Amino acid sequence: QMSKWDSHETCSLPSPQDKPRVLITGDTNIHLSLKQYGTENVILTDIKKPAPHVFSNGPFVYADVLDYKHLRELIVTNGITWLVHYSALLSAVGEANMALARKINITGLHNVLDLALEHCLRFFVPSTIGAFGPSSPRDPAPDLCVQRPRTIYGVSKVHGELMGEYLHHKYGLDFRCLRYPGVISVNTPPGGGTTDYAVQIFHDALSTGHHECYLRPDTRLPMMHISDCHRATVEFMQTPESQLSLRTYNIAAMSFTPDELAQEIQKHLPHLKVTYSLDPVRQTIADSWPMRFDDTNARRDWGWAPAFGLEELVADMLRSIEDMRV
């Protein structure tokens, strides 16, 4: 469809800072970090039925990121000013279904980027450690370096970073992107990622006491607690444009291996047994990703600082899973 951007206008409407109206695709948990804006101002969307508590925390609407007209209707009808776009297939599941990953991660992204331009929205999409590849510097990976990922997930994320920055420089789109480490959360079950073991191990530790890990014990990857990840996203979205020297930033919190994570959990649950049965697909992916992230620019430009290290992460995950079980 033709949008006004076909006539090369630029986005001149300032995005309101104080009370944005936010549309979120594909993540029904970040709304808790946005509750300062009023639950009625944050609309969650997905194609999957969310957990029951989501319905009591504000509006939830079925929306498919491939349905451009419906998304446009939601933006117009609800006076949306910020669009936070999480819908995506993750790395391992993307390798198993390349065509679907390309559709959701690239076509879906084009839809929301076009809509963000058309309606002058502040636009956020996460990128990832998966946007780097075997030829990138891995310890640490800086913001700007060679990015030649070998997964469709990584390729789609680099494409997103570049498309958004292009639309920012050419048309003034208020594009914002953070490269997330592996995100560790109780509420989000493992969903086809390479870093999933670092969530599953907690559930296994508290149920059977045995975790079979598909990565080598010495595979080091950057990781982050979900609450740090959501806080980073909200703080970044609130940062005035004048403070941003980049539009895509790495954010870091900790880096660990399966063996180090197991040892930290064993301080609480000494009976935990971890065995290793490698998945060659996920091991190859992990071996191509950064071991550590350099987030100097995020710290300098908008004050990023994580609250959770490995010790705090483990204590919090075990406590939260136990709370859910009673």
Residue with tokens 């999957």: 48
Closest CA to 23 of 69, 66, 61: 61
Minimum distance, C-beta of residue 85 to ligand AKB, in the bound complex (Å): 15
Local structure of 118: helix, strand or coil: helix
Answer yes or no: are the C-beta atoms of 92 and 200 closer than 8 Å: no
HEC secondary structure over 11-47: CCCCCCCCCCCEEEECCCCHHHHHHHHCHHHEEEEEC
From 25, 194, 219, 250, residue interacting with ligand AKB (rule: CB under 6 A)? 194
Is residue 153 annotated as part of the catalytic site, yes or no? yes
Which of 108, 133, 182, 306 touches ligand AKB by CB under 6 A?
A: 182
Q: CA-to-CA distance for 109 and 164, rounded, in angstroms?
A: 10
Q: How far apart are CA 271 and CA 210, in angstroms?
A: 9
Smaller CB distance to ligand AKB: residue 119 or 230? 230
* Beta carbon of residue 232, minimum distance to ligand AKB (angstroms, whole number): 15
Q: How far is the CB of 205 from ligand AKB (least distance, A)?
A: 20
How far is Cα 188 from Cα 15, in angstroms, rounded to an integer?
30
Q: Kind and range of the H or E element at 255?
A: strand 254-256
Using CB positions, name the residue nearest to ligand AKB: 193
In the complex, least distance from residue 77 CB atom to ligand AKB, rounded to whole angstroms: 32
The interface mask with ligand AKB, positions 133-172, x = CB under 6 A, is --------------------x-------------------
Q: Exactly one of 62, 68, 86, 153 is catalytic; name it.
A: 153
What is the DSSP track for 130-168?
A: GG--TTS--SSB-SSS----SSHHHHHHHHHHHHHHHHH
Task: Tell me the number of residues near ligand AKB by CB under 6 A.
Answer: 10
Please pick, from the candidates 29, 41, 87, 128, the single residue that binds ligand AKB as defined by CB under 6 A: 128
Interface residue with ligand AKB, options 20, 130, 133, 160 (CB under 6 A): 130
> Nearer to ligand AKB by C-beta: 130 or 164?
130
**Closer residue to ligand AKB (CB): 123 or 180:** 180
Contacts of 190 (CB under 8 A, 6+ apart): 196, 197, 199, 200
Residue 147 or 194 with smaller CB distance to ligand AKB: 194
Tokens 């951007």 locate to 5
CB atoms within 10 A of CB 308: 21
86-105 residues near ligand AKB, rule: CB under 6 A: 90-91
Residue 129 DSSP symbol = G
Candidates 30, 80, 129, 261; binder of ligand AKB (CB under 6 A) is 129
**What is the set of active-site residues?**
153
Residues that bind ligand AKB (CB under 6 A): 90-91, 128-130, 153, 182, 193-195
